[in-house]
């Protein structure tokens, strides 16, 4: 074997996302297909430090492609942020004869991976697993499409009650400091507006909406709000609205953790499956410290440093589309 990789370790870390199981399945089967052994590491970096590691066969990933969450569990691990923690992790890699790692997670996971590979010269490939879609170098992250669909399903239901009572609803969605979920769910659910952190740093979006008379011809309105501190969240905006415009009958709905759950969509299963195979291909080709992405339907390799540091801009022009369609 020219690439010298006989055994890989695989973990999921940070916030869980639907489609992680499809990625685990794909990584496992692609490795075994190429005669590479697979060791599953439980609870993210925590399991690497405590040695919670089990060898997987192809049957270990049977019947999981449709399941949300991650069968490997996920955890936040403060110890991995310390040199001592990472040394323990490395000792376990050596003990388990793991030559390379595939890590599935978000930018925190990749930051830890990058540091670890610099310190111990371990080849690492990352797969973007987060509902927030906030990683540079891939059109979509694993879990984003499912979360988007969960959100629009919920918004459709809220619309029924909003229009019966002629109310203004602020619906808060996840996304950390990125507006992808808010903006695209607003488009897909026919919401009257989206309030996203990227634009809020430039203008007062609520004031803008009121000035534009966003509720003129409607008997109900739905505004999707990113959870970020920059926007003030749905509660912050509702409070302001009640203070400044008491004529509106304002309600708040915070969608919360339902956005993380559920069976992954076809799209998330497909990208997770493609990315898992691409991760093993990349390791066999001698690539290291990269994230697998999909751009314009093609697999791409993005240096971890870029995936973490570079900004992935939302398409703010889509706010204009939402506005046009809300008249």
Residue from 108, 126, 232, 276 in contact with ligand ATP (CB under 6 A)? 108
The verdict on 68 binding ligand ATP (CB under 6 A) reads no
The verdict on 69 binding ligand ATP (CB under 6 A) reads no
* Options 11-19, 93-101, 187-195, 295-303: segment touching ligand ATP (CB under 6 A): 11-19
Residue list 27-66, contact with ligand ATP (CB under 6 A): 45
Using the minimum distance from each CB to ligand ATP, give the nearer residue, 241 or 302.
302
Using the minimum distance from each CB to ligand ATP, give the nearer residue, 37 or 46.
46
Asked if residue 43 lies in contact with residue 70, where contact means CB atoms within 8 angstroms, the answer is no
Residue list 208-237, contact with ligand ATP (CB under 6 A): none
Six token digits for residue 111: 């930051």
Positions annotated as catalytic residues are: 132
Six token digits for residue 168: 């203004």
The DSSP line for 239-276 is HHHHHH-TTS-EEEEE-GGGGG-SPPPHHHHHHHHHHH
Query: Strand 53-56 relative to strand 100-105: parallel, antiparallel, unpaired?
Result: unpaired
Using the minimum distance from each CB to ligand ATP, give the nearer residue, 220 or 228.
228
Six token digits for residue 197: 């952190």
* Options 10-18, 117-125, 259-267, 300-308: segment touching ligand ATP (CB under 6 A): 10-18
Strands of the sheet containing 53-56, edge to edge, are 53-56, 37-41, 7-12, 100-105, 124-128, 290-295, 298-303
Residue 276's Cα: distance from chain center in Å? Answer: 16
Six token digits for residue 136: 């540079």
* Options 50-58, 106-114, 151-159, 190-198: segment touching ligand ATP (CB under 6 A): 106-114
The verdict on 273 binding ligand ATP (CB under 6 A) reads no
Interface ranges with ligand ATP (CB under 6 A):
13-15, 45, 76-77, 80-81, 105-109, 111-112, 115, 130, 132
């Amino acid at each position: 074997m020219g690439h010298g990789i006989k055994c890989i370790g695989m973990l999921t870390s940070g916030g869980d996302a639907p489609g992680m199981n499809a990625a685990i399945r794909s990584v496992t089967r692609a490795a075994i297909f190429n005669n590479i052994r697979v060791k599953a590491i439980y609870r993210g970096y925590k399991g690497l430090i405590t040695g919670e590691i089990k060898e997987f066969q192809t049957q270990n990933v049977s019947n999981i492609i449709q399941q949300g969450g991650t069968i490997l569990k996920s955890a936040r691990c403060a110890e991995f942020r310390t040199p001592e923690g990472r040394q323990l992790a490395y000792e376990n890699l050596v003990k388990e004869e793991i030559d390379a790692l595939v890590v599935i997670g978000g930018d925190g996971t990749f930051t830890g991976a990058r540091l670890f590979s610099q310190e111990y010269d371990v080849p690492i490939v990352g797969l973007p697993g987060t509902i927030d879609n906030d990683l540079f170098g891939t059109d979509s992250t694993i879990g984003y499409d499912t979360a988007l669909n969960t959100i629009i399903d919920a918004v459709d239901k809220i619309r029924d009650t909003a229009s019966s009572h002629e109310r203004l609803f602020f619906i808060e969605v996840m996304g950390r400091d990125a507006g992808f979920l808010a903006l695209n769910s607003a488009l897909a659910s026919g919401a009257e507006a989206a309030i996203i952190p990227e634009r809020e740093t430039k203008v007062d979006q609520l004031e803008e909406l009121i000035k534009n008379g966003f509720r003129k011809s409607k008997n109900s309105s739905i505004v999707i709000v990113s959870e970020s501190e920059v926007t003030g969240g749905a509660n912050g905006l509702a409070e302001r609205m009640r203070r400044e415009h008491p004529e509106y009958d304002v309600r708040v709905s915070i969608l919360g953790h339902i956005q993380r759950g559920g069976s992954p969509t076809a799209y998330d299963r497909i990208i997770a499956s493609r990315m898992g195979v691409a991760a093993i291909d990349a390791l066999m080709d001698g690539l290291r410290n990269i994230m697998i992405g999909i751009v314009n339907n093609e697999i791409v390799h993005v240096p971890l440093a870029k995936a973490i540091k570079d900004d992935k801009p939302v398409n703010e022009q889509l706010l204009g589309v939402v506005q046009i369609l809300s008249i």
